[in-house]
Amino acid sequence: MALRSMDELRQQAQGALSLNIAFIGVVNGLFSTLHALGNADSAALAAATGMDTGYVLRWCDAAYAFGWLELTDNEQWRLSEDGDRMRPEAENSRVGVAVGAVLSAHMAERAAGLMRTGERPGEKVLAERETILPWFGLMLENNFRKTFEEKICPTVPIFAEVDARGGLAVDLGCGNGWYLRALAARCGHLHGLGLDGFAENIRQATEKAQSEGIADRLHFDEGDIHQFSLPEPADLIAMNRSLHHVWENRGEIFQRLHASLKPEGAIVIWEPAWPDDHRVLREPPLRGMAFQNLTEHVQGNHFLHPEEIATALSEAGLHPEIFPFGSDVVVVGRV
């Protein structure tokens, strides 16, 4: 890899700054409010959002500098096309990129300090920044829902099978419910149960299912992957990008999941596919995975090879099938 010039490094740094500015606008409702107002000066935007006028004034200048805002002829602010896409409610919203950038900076700072001691404080580090945690589910939805809808769901047969028999799909660690909401939108006969340990995620999932008109088929509740009970045996139990968080207890967990399935049921695991050869990590789709694997170490985790997942399912008495999707993998373990 060629030596990067100072100009290239500064350009990369400017990209990070731009997303930092966008994040501030997202979490404080500035993009959404300005969209509703159409045009506004800084004072009017501050009043409409309930934010401090001095902070909003300087945020508007910064957002304009990085192209999130435009100025009208009468010195009013309005959203640029890019700024409009930073609204959480916008079609094809790009909120996930801004949230992910700030989360990455937080995790990098934590890794820098912890590297000296070897401490691995666990998943609580994700909740250390109160402005980030409420946006975690939407970040995952922005980053992965399209892949699920367009590539995974049409390709992996178990989803159509469960839909055909009007079965129960369970999502463990459901976040804001995006996976089940996407599945229910595509599969009109199945019903779903999402379990998550954060009450805010359950609130968001329930609210979104209601707004999308599918709340009659989806239910969300607080639950722990280590201790949960289902109202009936499941046709499908999904773990989306979460198995690596509980990998050390995989035997116990897979046995529990196996016991919760119907005779024709399956466990569906979706994970980043850690490569066998670290030389491929320089490929653009894998660079983010390499960084995230460092931050997973902070949380006490690490990414998995697809074959490891398949072997663990086999040891739990299930029949695994591997479906590769670029830098990700879906492994289905059938009863």
Dump pLDDT digits (tens) for 161-178: 999 999 999 999 999 999
**What are the tens digits of pLDDT across the range 89-128?**
998 899 999 999 999 999 999 999 999 999 999 988 988 9
Q: Is 16 helix (H, G, I), strand (E, B) or coil?
A: helix
The maximal CA–CA distance of the chain, rounded, in angstroms, is: 70
The answer on 166 and 227 residing in a single domain is yes
pLDDT, residue 68, reads 98
* Same domain, residue pair 78 and 215: no
DSSP conformation class of 148: I
CB 190 within 8 A of CB 163: yes
Hey, how many other C-beta atoms are within 10 angstroms of the C-beta on 102?
22
Residue 73 maps to a domain: yes
Task: Answer whether residue 23 is part of any domain.
Answer: yes
Return the pLDDT at 268.
98
* Residue 69, amino acid: L
- Same structural domain for residues 203 and 317? yes
Pick the last residue of a domain from 66, 97, 128.
97
CATH of residue 28: 1.10.10.10
Residue 227, helix vs strand vs coil: strand
Spatial distance between the Cα atoms of 273 and 305, rounded to a whole number of angstroms: 6
Q: Would you say how long the chain is, in residues?
A: 335
- The ranges of the chain with pLDDT < 50 are none
Tell me the CATH number at 199.
3.40.50.150
Closest CA to 88 of 186, 22, 180, 40: 22
Same domain, 151 and 52: no
Q: What is the pLDDT of residues 218-234, one digit of tens each?
A: 999 998 788 888 999 99
* 42 and 169 co-located in one domain: no
- DSSP state letter for 273: B
Sign of CA dihedral 18, 21, 25, 31: negative
Question: Of 232, 320, 231, whose CA–CA distance to 269 is shortest?
Answer: 320
Q: What is the number of domains present in the chain?
A: 2
Segments forming the whole domain that contains residue 44: 6-97
